[in-house]
Amino acid sequence: MSRWEPNARGRLERAAYELFRDQGYDQTTVADIAKRAGLTERTFFRHYADKREVLFGGAGSLQDELLRALDRVPPELPAIEAVRIAVEAMSTLMHGRRPFSLERQRIVAAHADLQERELIKRATLTAALAQGLQRRGVPEPAASFAAEIGIAAFFVGFGRWFDDPAQRELVEIVHEGFDQLKAVADGSFL
Amino acid sequence: MSRWEPNARGRLERAAYELFRDQGYDQTTVADIAKRAGLTERTFFRHYADKREVLFGGAGSLQDELLRALDRVPPELPAIEAVRIAVEAMSTLMHGRRPFSLERQRIVAAHADLQERELIKRATLTAALAQGLQRRGVPEPAASFAAEIGIAAFFVGFGRWFDDPAQRELVEIVHEGFDQLKAVADGSFL
């Protein structure tokens, strides 16, 4: 087997999620995942530190996209609009990933240590977004509040994505969520 | 030493924080805390499972007060006003506790496991508040959004409390935070 494997990371991810679904997360080993993907364990460890990492490997990409999108927003827009654009850009990374995400959600919900890691991921994203806003010149506490609102819109939307009767993409639910959040904040939603 | 000790819990908490400040959290043992409080280790363990618990012993009281206050809010008030009243009631529990809280904040910031526990506490409070709103008849996702806003106002305010130039009580900072959050959410804060 050659050292370079086309799309090894994607193949490992797909194999892992299939095994998590079919035989359970706890019962799945790195050896199982590598075998199912037709790759070696060594290749697995080149891409992921352990099987938990398969579940959290996307967190860095989300944050990168969030901050890249924020940097592209014209400076004259209000903080909340900048946040909305950045969070929606991040949400588009989930296009077509509902089956993976649903399986992932089930696994995380069943493991206290993974839930903790999810909370850390959320706190890290929020802090990064607040810092990005500060770099745009948004003062505190507005930067923190705008970041909190944006990340809440993302995570509440994420939870609703799985049950959405219209099976919309995450970005549409998050877009709607910003309007709902605004209506809740100004009391026009009773 | 009698089994019943007047205000043992308060004495243990005070002794613990004095030791954490003077000799460091990591260097302080349960035996040290009990000795400083003039109580036995047995009494300590009647009140706290371990020394970490001294730092998180107030979480239950916060949540109780939050939900009690929410239940007292007249049903005709908008969700966000109900949340504001409940979160401000919870914030009044911190009256006069700034020195403890500041020391606690320093310790938590220096220990990854304590930070995780703090995030879990925050997520638990948010979920409890959202459920309380649902019981009032607030539908999803408005209940979750109102809860997210309220708990963000509390925790962002908590962080600012320590540096507040006017040395105001937490509840005043949180009260102001709700106005700022609303201005951020509707874009009137640029």
pLDDT digits (tens, 9 = 90+) for A82-138: 999 999 999 999 998 888 888 999 999 999 989 999 999 999 999 999 999 999 999
Which DSSP string corresponds to B24-89? -TTT--HHHHHHHHT--HHHHHHH-SSHHHHHHTTHHHHHHHHHHHHHHS-TTS-HHHHHHHHHHH
pLDDT, tens only, A154-173: 999 999 998 888 999 999 99
Asked if the model's pLDDT at residue A2 lies above 60, the reply is: no
Q: Which residue of B has its CA nearest to A126?
A: B152
CATH 3.40.50.1820 describes domain B8-54: no
Q: What is the mean pLDDT of chain A?
A: 93
Distance, CA of A186 to CA of A126 (rounded, Å): 22
Using a CB–CB cut-off of 8 Å, the residues of B that contact A are: 78-81, 115-116, 119-120, 122-123, 140-142, 144-146, 148-149, 152-153, 156-157, 159-160, 177, 180-190
CB contact under 8 A, B152 and A152: yes
Query: For chain B, what are the domain ranges?
Result: 8-54, 58-185
Size of interface A-B (CB pairs under 8 A): 111
CB contact under 8 A, A149 and B144: no
Question: Quick one: fold of A8-49?
Answer: Arc Repressor Mutant, subunit A (1.10.10)
Binning pLDDT at 50, 70 and 90, where does residue B11 land? very high
- Structure ipTM: 0.89
Q: Residues B7-28: what's their mean pLDDT?
A: 93
Question: What is the pTM assigned to this prediction?
Answer: 0.90
Binning pLDDT at 50, 70 and 90, where does residue B141 land? very high
CB contact under 8 A, B185 and A149: yes
Distance, CA of A117 to CA of A53 (rounded, Å): 10
One of 3.40.50.2300, 1.10.357.10, 3.40.50.720, 3.40.50.300 is the CATH number of B58-185, namely 1.10.357.10
pLDDT, tens only, B27-60: 999 999 999 999 999 999 999 999 999 999 888 8
In chain A, residues with a C-beta closer than 8 Å to the C-beta of B188 are: 78
pLDDT at B1: 47
In chain B, residues with a C-beta closer than 8 Å to the C-beta of A177 are: 141, 145
CB contact under 8 A, B180 and A81: no
pLDDT at A178: 96
pLDDT, tens only, B52-106: 999 998 888 899 999 999 999 999 999 999 999 999 999 999 998 888 888 999 9
Helices A79-92/A112-135 angle, 10° precision:
130
pLDDT at A29: 96
